[in-house]
Structures are given as structure tokens and as C-alpha cells.
């Protein structure tokens, strides 16, 4: 709401404030009430903000899910009350304006659009609010607000825009087996994730959890009277994470025809910049598009941009040494294993030497990273060799 427009509604605000005060006179401190005598509420522009009774409402865009705050929570600094947290922005919560506390009413006048001001009795807040004293506003905003996620379990930062894609239809896949209850719970966490970066890590856990599950299952499957094969199982289990990832994907993903389609759809000019940066400029050991000092990125770009890329095209662009479906399958699985692992590391590790994603890179993570990862998981969970083993 425009400040001047809000101030022009002073009489309506005074009526509503008086009603709230009559119903809940103990919502503000005695000092605040002394400063705002009955029927003499102060409504003004304070440093560009709408101030009512010497309090300013500041939007809160997220509250820790473990925090329960049905009533207004007093904010104290060094033992002194400086304001309130009003947790009113949860989706689906409807409030009767006539029953709002004084602090929530102040939040309401900052939240409501002018044309809807006092036009009904029920209201859905757009977000939560902190209502803080004018005298503490500048200090709160400069010194306290940035660290609010730590001391208060809430944040004043606006949520970043989330990448979304439209769907026309959904294909149901039969015969898919979720390996363990832990996989089931982590799938639920993935679906409820608020952004593509967190969701990618939750889906990655689906494969990560399989390392131990498959190791134990293979041990149990050994003959009771023989330890033949134990050495190979132990050797596989003791590899580094990238090798484990490559090994498990190679063993349980047979069809690779879906890979080139996902990559081709993600091969937009903007995504190509990110792909080359994360996979090539920040290359690590195990990159199939490096053969010694020779980089094969241009070869791969031409390959993925060609009509119907397959084993023959891969040989044509010197990605494999001969036209062979198994050699091609292994190459593609090594490549996407490396890509999935590099995306995972770049999300999980904010450190020198790693590519650091920006918020605006979420589309890349969803379209390419999540596209490849979920397709691999679906192939694995549908493979009888895996489902029968576990």
C-alpha cells in the first residue's frame, strides 16, 4: 500500500485500532500504550514506512518449519521488548479482522491492498511479519535482520523465483520397486523441497543409499559354504564415490536412448555456457570428455547436435573407438555419471575449486541435472536384476 494512501485512511484505521485495543488491550507493552492514548493513535510516515503507534511492520518471508508460533512472539533485545513476531503468513490460514491483535492489525494494514482495506471480515496474509518499534527500526534492519535465521528461525529475504515447467501429460511406469523405507521417506522429502537445488540432492540420496543396500544384499547372496566373490564385492565397495556411482549406474542402467534426448533438450545457449563451465573449466578426474590433454567438448557438441545421435555418430566424432553398442552405452553412462556427480558437488560444496551455482541456474539443474538423475533412478528401480537382489 502507498504510504500516503494508507495515511489518508486514518479514520478507518483508528476505528479498527480502537476495536482491537478494546478487545486485546494487553498486546503491546505498557510503555507503548502510554505513548498512544485512547482514540489518539499516531499514524505517520516514518522513514518511508507506515508507522502506527510507533511500530513498523516488516515482512518475514520464511519461518523455520520446526517453529510453532500461533500467538504473537515477543522480540527482546538485552531484556527489553522491541517488537513482536506475527506468524500469520502460512498458506490456508484465514483470520477474522475483528479478532486480530493490535500487532497483527498493524501487519494487516501493511499487507492489505488499498481497494480491499476493511472490505471484509476474513483475510489471508501474504507473508509473516515482525512488528518493531520505530526507535529500533534502523538498528534492527542493519544489525539484527541479516542474522534472524540464526537467532529467530525466520528470514526477511524474499524467496528466490522458482523454476517451473508445465506438463501436458504424465506417463505412469509399472514395475518400479522402491528399495527401502528410507528411500520412500527421502522421495517424500525431495517432492516437498522448495527449490531444484535441494531437490536434486534428495534425489541423489536415492542412489547414494543404494551403495550400502546393494553391498549387504550381495554379501547375503553368496553361497553359504563358499566365500567366492567376496573379494570382488569388497573391492567394489571400497572405491571412491564417483567410481561407486559409475559402477552402480553401469550395472543397473541398460537403456541409454533417453540420455541423448534429455541432453539435447537442455542444450540451449545459456545452458551450454553453464555446462562448459562446470564440466570442462572446472573439470575433475574422471571426465570422459578429456583424453589426456585433448578436450572433446567440441566433438560432443557436434555429436549431440546431430540428427539421431547414436553409436555410429559417437564413432564419427571420435568419442568412441568403434561402432559398438556396449562401448557406446558405457561411454554415455560414464559421461552422465560424471555430470551428475559434478552437479551434486557444486550444490553441496561451496569452496574454492568448485563451480558455484547462482539462483538463476536453477533451470539448468532441473532440466539437465534432475532430468538425467531421475531417469537413471527410474531405470534402476525398474531393473529386475536390482529389484530381485534387494
DSSP 109-174: HHHS-GGGTTS-SEE--SSEEEEEEHHHHHHIIIIIGGGHHHHTSEE-SPPPPPP----S------
Closest CA to 73 of 123, 129, 137: 129
Query: For residue range 253-263, what is the model confidence (pLDDT) as tens digits?
Result: 999 988 999 99
What is the reported pLDDT for 29?
A: 42
Lateral strand order in the sheet of 128-133: 43-46, 49-52, 55-60, 128-133, 80-86, 73-77
Mention every residue, 6+ apart, whose C-beta is less than 8 A from residue 30: none
More confident residue, 293 or 243: 243
Extents of the domains making up the chain: 3-155, 181-389
Residue 25 has pLDDT above 60, yes or no: no
Do the bridges between strand 80-86 and strand 73-77 make them parallel or antiparallel, or are there none, so unpaired? antiparallel
Q: Is 254 helix (H, G, I), strand (E, B) or coil?
A: coil
What is the reported pLDDT for 230?
A: 67
**Rounded-to-integer distance, Cα 387 and Cα 380, Å:** 8
The rounded percent of the chain whose pLDDT value lies above 70 is 83
What is the reported pLDDT for 162?
A: 78
CA distances (Å), origin 55, targets 51, 83, 89, 365, 368: 5, 8, 19, 42, 48
What secondary structure does DSSP assign to 109-124, as a single string? HHHS-GGGTTS-SEE-
Residue 229 has pLDDT above 80, yes or no: no
Mention every residue, 6+ apart, whose C-beta is less than 8 A from residue 375: 258, 259, 262
Give the confidence band of 344 by pLDDT, cuts at 50, 70, 90: very high
| 110-118, Cβ contacts within 8 angstroms, sequence gap of 24 or more | 110/1, 110/50, 110/57, 110/59, 111/57, 112/1, 113/1, 114/1, 114/2, 114/5, 114/6, 114/9, 117/1, 117/9, 117/12, 118/12, 118/16
Residue 44 CB coordination number (10 Å)? 13
Q: Do the Cβ atoms of 286 and 338 come closer than 8 Å?
A: yes
Residue 207 has pLDDT above 80, yes or no: yes
CA diameter of the chain: 91
Rounded to two decimals, the pTM is 0.74
Query: For residue range 293-313, what is the model confidence (pLDDT) as tens digits?
Result: 678 999 999 999 999 899 999
The pLDDT mean for the chain works out to 84
Residue 82 has pLDDT above 70, yes or no: yes
Amino acid at each position: 500500500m502507498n504510504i500516503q494512501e494508507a495515511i489518508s485512511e486514518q479514520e478507518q484505521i483508528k476505528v479498527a485500532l480502537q476495536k482491537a485495543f478494546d478487545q486485546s488491550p494487553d498486546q503491546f507493552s505498557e510503555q507503548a500504550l502510554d505513548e498512544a492514548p485512547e482514540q489518539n493513535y499516531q499514524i505517520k510516515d516514518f522513514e518511508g514506512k507506515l508507522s502506527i503507534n510507533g511500530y513498523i511492520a516488516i515482512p518475514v518471508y520464511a519461518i523455520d518449519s520446526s517453529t510453532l508460533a500461533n500467538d504473537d512472539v515477543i522480540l527482546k533485545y538485552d531484556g527489553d521488548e522491541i517488537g513482536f513476531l506475527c506468524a500469520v503468513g502460512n498458506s490456508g490460514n484465514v483470520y477474522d479482522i475483528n479478532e486480530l491483535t493490535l500487532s497483527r492489525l498493524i501487519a494487516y494494514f501493511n499487507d492489505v491492498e488499498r481497494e480491499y482495506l476493511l472490505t471484509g471480515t476474513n483475510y489471508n496474509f501474504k507473508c509473516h511479519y515482525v512488528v518493531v518499534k520505530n526507535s529500533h527500526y534502523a538498528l534492527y534492519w542493519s544489525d539484527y535482520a541479516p542474522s534472524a535465521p540464526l537467532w529467530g528461525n525466520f528470514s526477511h529475504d524474499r524467496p528466490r523465483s522458482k523454476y517451473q515447467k508445465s506438463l501436458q501429460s504424465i506417463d505412469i511406469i509399472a514395475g518400479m520397486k522402491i528399495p527401502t523405507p528410507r528411500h520412500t521417506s527421502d522421495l517424500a522429502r525431495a517432492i516437498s523441497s522448495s527449490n531444484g537445488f535441494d531437490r536434486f540432492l534428495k534425489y541423489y540420496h536415492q542412489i547414494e543409499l543404494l551403495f550400502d543396500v546393494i553391498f549387504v544384499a550381495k554379501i547375503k547372496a553368496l553361497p553359504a559354504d563358499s566365500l567366492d566373490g567376496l573379494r570382488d564385492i569388497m573391492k567394489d565397495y571400497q572405491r571412491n564415490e564417483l567410481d561407486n556411482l559409475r559402477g552402480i549406474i553401469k550395472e543397473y542402467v541398460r537403456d541409454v536412448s533417453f540420455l541423448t534426448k534429455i541432453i539435447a533438450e537442455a542444450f540451449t545457449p545459456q545452458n551450454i555456457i553453464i555446462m562448459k563451465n562446470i564440466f570442462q573449466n572446472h573439470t575433475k578426474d574422471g571426465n570422459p570428455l578429456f583424453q589426456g590433454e585433448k578436450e572433446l567438448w567440441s566433438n560432443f557438441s557436434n555429436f549431440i547436435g546431430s540428427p539421431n545421435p547414436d553409436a555410429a555418430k559417437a564413432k564419427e566424432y571420435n568419442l568412441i573407438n568403434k561402432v559398438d553398442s556396449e562401448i557406446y552405452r558405457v561411454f554415455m553412462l560414464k559421461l552422465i555419471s560424471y555430470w551428475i556427480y559434478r552437479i551434486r558437488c557444486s550444490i553441496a560444496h561451496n569452496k574454492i575449486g568448485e563451480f558455484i551455482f547462482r539462483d538463476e541456474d536453477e533451470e539448468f539443474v532441473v532440466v539437465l541435472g534432475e532430468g538425467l538423475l531421475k531417469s537413471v533412478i527410474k531405470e534402476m528401480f525398474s531393473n529386475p536384476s536390482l529389484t530381485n537382489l534387494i
